[in-house]
Amino acid sequence: MEFKTLSITTALAHNKKLCLLVGGTAVCVGLVAWRCFRPAEEEEKKVRVGVVSQLLIHPLKSGRAVSVALAECLEMGLKHGELRDRHWLVVTEDGHMVTGRQQPRLVLVSLTYDHGRLCLSGPDMEEMHMALEEHDNPVLDCRVFGDDIQGRDCGDEAARWLTLYLGGEKAFRLVHYEAHMEPRRSASMEKLFSPEERVAYPDVGPVLLLSEASVGDLNAKLEKDVTVERFRPNIVVGDCNAFEEDTWTDLLIGDVRLQRVMSCGRCVFTTVDPETGVITRKEPLDTLKGYRQCKPSESEIYKKAPLFGQLFTVKKTGIFQVGDVVYKIGH
């Protein structure tokens, strides 16, 4: 009996060592497998590159910006309350878009919309307030940079206000993009965008980012300073170097993930003063052309347009706010 007991004890001890050895090996194999196959985001590194100093929403395309402390960042751009970036548009009677390029004083028009009430205001004009019963208004076929898109007409009162404000020589109407309407494809305007990217009335992309330092660098070369609002960004970043944003590919701001697509090529619209509505067709565009041209290998994309600011798409929607740290994501 003593021999059998000893043998069993010895066997159990041996098996215990074997179990520990096998178990330890399994854990090691599991750790290696987990490290090899764990999600890519766990390998990511965050590097602080700046801080959000302003968030700007332009409800009306070419209209005055609304500065907000917090915004939702959706796939088609920024949203605050019932205001969404560039979801309102001035059109001619035949549906062609009207921007500050053709009507510079449009940059002085403020549009707000809250609880079904629309407000338009501008210099030397009485504010227009009206309840907007959009479902009763017709849907118009519009043209934005050659692309077809719809817009819900906002009625005769808004049309009269805009026509009077813009001089009364031509008739203008206001339209609103609704969620059920077919958006424009960014790739049809710029091939660097993926076919999945959609926008309402922005020129091409849903989010435009620019740094304060880049505007400061430009102002050092100008006789008269310009403000960041002249370039109509959505996100303004402080606490970084001039043109550092040119090197940012993937960003994390608050809950939001952004991915750079391309630089923003600038046009004559930058010569419209957002405080006076006067267009000069000279500065700051001429100065930008002198030192912000693209590489020769990119001339097919940007032509001769100087580059100022970066266009991003939204890879993860969420909320961000002024004061949020801007992180560059790397591996």
Domain boundaries, the chain: 46-330
Q: How far is residue 174 from each of residues 61, 86, 116, 158, 162, measured CA to CA in Å?
A: 11, 12, 15, 7, 8
Residue 66 has a pLDDT of 98
Is the pLDDT score of 10 beyond 70?
A: no
**CA separation for the pair 296, 83 (Å, rounded):** 40
Give residue-wise pLDDT tens across range 174-217.
999 999 999 999 999 999 999 999 999 999 999 999 999 999 99
Residue 42 has a pLDDT of 58
Superfamily of structural domain 46-330: PK beta-barrel domain-like (2.40.33.20)
**CA dihedral sign, ordered 161, 163, 165, 168:** negative
Q: Are 165 and 125 in contact (CB under 8 A)?
A: yes
Closest of 93, 83, 286 to residue 172, by C-alpha: 93
Is the pLDDT score of 266 beyond 60?
A: yes
Give residue-wise pLDDT tens across range 128-144.
999 987 678 999 999 99
261: its two tokens: 């697509």
Ranking 40-54, 108-122, 153-167, 249-263 by mean pLDDT, the lowest is 40-54
**CA separation for the pair 167, 53 (Å, rounded):** 36
Alpha-carbon radius of gyration of the chain: 28
**CA separation for the pair 286, 281 (Å, rounded):** 9
Residue 27 has a pLDDT of 43
Q: How far is residue 85 from each of residues 112, 199, 209, 240, 311, measured CA to CA in Å?
A: 12, 10, 14, 25, 14
**CA separation for the pair 82, 224 (Å, rounded):** 36
Give the residue with greater pLDDT, 168 vs 261.
Answer: 261
Residue 5 has a pLDDT of 42
Residue 145 has a pLDDT of 94
% residues pLDDT > 70 (the chain) = 87
Tokens 């005769």 belong to 156
Give residue-wise pLDDT tens across range 247-260.
999 999 999 999 99
Task: Output the pTM of the full model.
Answer: 0.87
- The secondary structure element, H or E, covering residue 119 is strand 117-121
Q: Are 155 and 119 in contact (CB under 8 A)?
A: no
Q: Are 216 and 242 in contact (CB under 8 A)?
A: yes
Tokens 């088609």 belong to 76
Residue 135 has a pLDDT of 75
Closest of 92, 91, 48 to residue 330, by C-alpha: 48
Closest of 261, 87, 64 to residue 174, by C-alpha: 87
Is the pLDDT score of 8 beyond 80?
A: no
- Parallel/antiparallel/unpaired status of strands 77-80 and 83-84: antiparallel
Closest of 244, 231, 254 to residue 70, by C-alpha: 254
Q: How far is residue 251 CA from its own chain's centroid?
A: 12
